[in-house]
Amino acid sequence: MGQSQGHTADESSLRRVTIALVLTGTFMLVEVVGGIISGSLALLADAGHMLTDTMALSLAAMAFHVSKRPPGGSLTYGYQRFQILAAFVNGLSLLAVVGWILFEAVSRFLSPKDILGETMLVVASAGLVINLVSFAILHTGDRENLNIRGAALHVAGDLLGSIAAIIAAIIIIYTGWTPIDPILSIAVAALILKSAWSLVKRSAHILLEGAPEWLDVEAMQKLIVSRVSGVDEIHHVHIWGLTPQQLMLTMHMSLDGSVESQSGVIRDVKTFLQEEYGIGHSTIEVDVDGCADH
């Protein structure tokens, strides 16, 4: 049942990413042309962001395909971690986009350019509609999947970029004040930066084999000792995840004198870990006459 549900979730996620990829890639070309014609940095910045979105969504789609490959050879856990690599690269690309927007904004302040507000408004409004559709498709997907989350953050950045471009266009049309264009571009860059850093930090934590942020390892050890009969002490605990949904654990365990079956206690601990913490893969070593690793 669990594998079937996971497979269905991945198929749904892949379908959502593919639809968003087609919409984003197509409108990116429209926005590039509109940005060049109107002279708007806000549009060009959003077009540049949509270019990285297109690459990011392509990478996300590839990640779903690759992660379905079975384990084998030197990759005994399979390719599930590829999704986290994709999310990490997506976050880094967002940081690069922020840097480009800031550089262009400073250049615009130093050398202002004429902007066609009407053209900018039409293109930005169309972009808003496309980004709303793409974001709705991705946001209603698997929110625990970092690959989907990374793709949704990219599109959210585009959404903010379109709103900023619309506001800038309206101000330029009615007041002629062009500095609003790079000002709002910087504001969007700041919002993108926050989301990008969060994505990079979380995916890097998984790549570095960090324990889930929500899990208190010491409290878990005490709970196992108090709840599972026969367990005397636990140490050398290591917890990490191939993905946020696929948690792994290794640990050493010493038993009290009342235990008749070591395998029975191990099964009880594994069941407890699965039911209480969702840890589906655990390797438990029972210490006899002290810990062998000492």
Identify whether the C-beta of residue 30 lies closer than 8 Å to the C-beta of residue 123. yes
Residue 34's nearest CA partner among 176, 166, 192 is 166
The first and second tokens of residue 84, run together, are 């986290």
Q: What letter represents residue 181's amino acid? A: D
**Which is it for the CA torsion 34, 36, 38, 39, positive or negative?**
positive
Where in the chain are all domains bearing CATH 1.20.1510.10? Answer: 2-207
CA distances from 287 to 114, 136, 253, 255 (A): 75, 52, 6, 8
Nearest to 162 by CA among 18, 23, 1, 14: 23
Encode burial over 175-199: b for 16+ CB neighbours within 10 A, e otherwise.
eeebebbbbbbbebbeebbebbeeb
pLDDT for 2: 45
The arrangement of secondary structure in 217-286, i.e. its CATH architecture, is 2-Layer Sandwich (3.30)
Structure tokens at 26: 């197509």
Assign a CATH topology to domain 2-207. Answer: Alpha-lytic protease prodomain-like (1.20.1510)
List, by residue range, all CATH 3.30.70.1350 domains of the chain: 217-286
Handedness of CA 237, 238, 244, 246 (dihedral sign): negative
Rounded to the nearest 10 degrees, the angle between the axes of helix 2-38 and helix 146-175 is 20
Q: Strand, helix or coil at 236?
A: strand
CA distance linking residue 116 with residue 100, whole number of Å: 22
Listed residue (292, 288, 282) closest to 248, CA to CA: 282
pLDDT tens, residue order, the chain (294 aa): 444 444 555 677 778 888 888 888 888 888 888 888 888 877 777 776 677 677 777 777 776 677 667 766 777 777 778 778 877 887 888 888 889 888 888 888 888 878 888 888 998 898 889 888 888 888 776 556 666 777 777 788 778 778 888 988 999 999 989 888 888 888 878 877 877 888 889 889 999 989 888 889 999 999 999 999 889 999 999 999 888 878 999 999 999 877 778 888 999 999 999 999 999 899 999 988 777 776
In the prediction, which pLDDT does 112 show?
A: 81
pLDDT of amino acid 144:
60
Q: Which residue has the tokens 């800031």?
A: 102
Asked if 119 contacts 55 with a C-beta cutoff of 8 angstroms, the reply is no
